[in-house]
Homo-oligomer: A and B are copies of this chain.
Amino acid sequence: MARTPRNTLSSELIVRTALELMESRGADAFSLRGVAAELGVGPMALYTYFRNKDELYDAVRDHLMGLLPAVPGDAAWPDQVRAVCRSLRLLMLQHPCLAQLLAGRPLSGHETARVAEGLLGVLRAAGFDAETAARTHTTLFTYVLGSTSWEIQMAAERRDPEAWRRLRATMESLSARDFPSVVELAPELARTTGGDEQFDYGLDLLLAGLQLRTPS
């Protein structure tokens, strides 16, 4: 009765191989047939372990979320929040496919819940009521997701010289009369697209706003 797998495959092995392929070839070029070929197996073999491509995506995402460190226990709550947000961002930068995995599917899975638990626990311990804690959690999550996804997207674009050239071209074709601020701030805009400083700037704005509402 023990449903022992035949031989070669397992969920973990498939997830690991899928992750490798996403990182080497990019999340867009990823395909079920690719990971099947990498495993020396027919495409349909994967359907024994995952109902479809999305379920494999979910498994890879949860696997990556499992790599996040625990919340530091011995710090003031704003620093704890900062640490959680920064480590999620760092993980996304180390594994760019995570951005698409997070944005494209609803959150689910054990490890994902663990991360949410960490942040929510910090907010509750800081004294925020249930609604504020939930709202803050959602706000922080969407900020980290949005800003880091954007950063990754732009970095990828910059690596493609053809796309980068055309972006510069359209930027420089803008008339300084119609778009004075855009033209004037173009270098600043390019410089502030991504980077730790940019991320921390927005995060600090959020935390400063949040501290104005500190309870007790």
Contacts and interface: CB of A to CB of B under 8 A. Distances in A.
Interface stretch (A4-12, A13-21, A32-40, A137-145): A137-145
Contacts of A192: 131, 134-135, 137-138
Interface stretch (A72-80, A90-98, A181-189): A181-189
A204 B198 contact: no
Contacts of A209: 204-209
Interface string A98-135: 00000111101110011011001100100000110111
A134 B170 CA distance: 19
Contacts of A104: 153
B188 A142 contact: no
B202 A142 contact: yes
Contacts of A185: 120, 124, 130, 133-134, 137
A30 to B, nearest CB: 15
A154 B124 contact: no
Contacts of A181: 116-117, 120-121, 124, 133
Q: How many copies does the complex hold?
A: 2
Interface string A61-83: 00000000000000000000000
From A105, A113, A124, A136, name the one whose CB has the most chain B CB atoms within 10 angstroms: A113
A143 B147 contact: yes
A25 interface: no
Contacts of A3: none
A53 to B, nearest CB: 12
A16 to B, nearest CB: 22
B139 A201 contact: yes
Contact of A106 (B163, B204, B208): B163
Contacts of A109: 170
A208 B214 CA distance: 13
B191 A134 contact: yes
B135 A145 contact: no
27 contacts: A103-B150, A105-B153, A108-B166, A108-B170, A109-B170, A110-B174, A113-B179, A114-B178, A117-B180, A120-B185, A124-B181, A124-B185, A130-B184, A131-B188, A131-B192, A133-B185, A134-B191, A135-B192, A137-B185, A137-B192, A138-B198, A139-B198, A139-B202, A139-B205, A143-B202, A205-B209, A208-B208
